Amino acid sequence: MSEDKPKYGNTKVPTDLELLQLRYLQILDEYIKLFEEKEELQFNGFIGRQFGGVCEFADMFFDFLDIKYSIDNNLPKGMIIQWYDHNLEYNINKPKHAHCNMTLEVFSKGVRFEKAN
C-alpha cells in the first residue's frame, strides 16, 4: 500500500502533528471554559486568531498565560480583573514610554503599585 493513499477507505488518517494541534486547541478551549465559568465572563475570541495569545472578554484583554495562571493557581474570583484594573489605573495618565505593568503572579502575592499623589 502506498504512503499517499488513505489507509481506511476515503478517511485520511491524521498525522501526529495534526493530532497534537487538535489536542492543543482542545486544551485551550477547556481553560477558556473554566475561566468563563469562574469569572462569569463571555469569551469573544483570540485577537488576530492567534490561538493561545491575547483573549478578549467583553472590554478586557488577557494573555492566555494569565488565564492559565489564574486557573492553575486557583486565584479567587475577580482577582484577575482587579489586577487588570490596577495596571490600567496605574498607567492611565503616564506617557507610553513610562508604562509599567505588574504581572498577575506578583499581584496575586499582594504586591501593589503605589499611587502617586
Residue 116: inside a domain? no
Tens-of-pLDDT digits for all 117 residues of the chain? 455 555 556 788 899 999 999 999 999 999 999 999 999 999 999 999 999 999 999 899 999 999 999 999 999 999 999 999 998 888 888 888 778 889 999 999 998 887 654
73 SS3 class:
coil
How many other CB atoms are there within 10 angstroms of residue 35's CB atom? Answer: 22
pLDDT at 117: 41
> Residues 6, 13: contact at Cβ < 8 Å?
yes
Locate 65 and state its grid cell: 498565560
Whether 78 maps to a domain, the answer reads: yes
The pLDDT of residue 1: 46
Note the helical H segments in 1-117. 16-39, 64-72, 79-91, 104-108
Q: Is residue 93 part of a domain?
A: yes
* Cβ 113 vs Cβ 102: under 8 Å: yes
Domain that residue 26 falls in: 16-108
Cell of 32: 477558556
The answer to whether residue 91 is domain-embedded is yes
Q: Is residue 11 part of a domain?
A: no
Looking at residue 82, its amino acid is Q
The answer to whether position 39 is within a domain reads: yes
Number of domains in the chain: 1
6 occurs within a structural domain? no
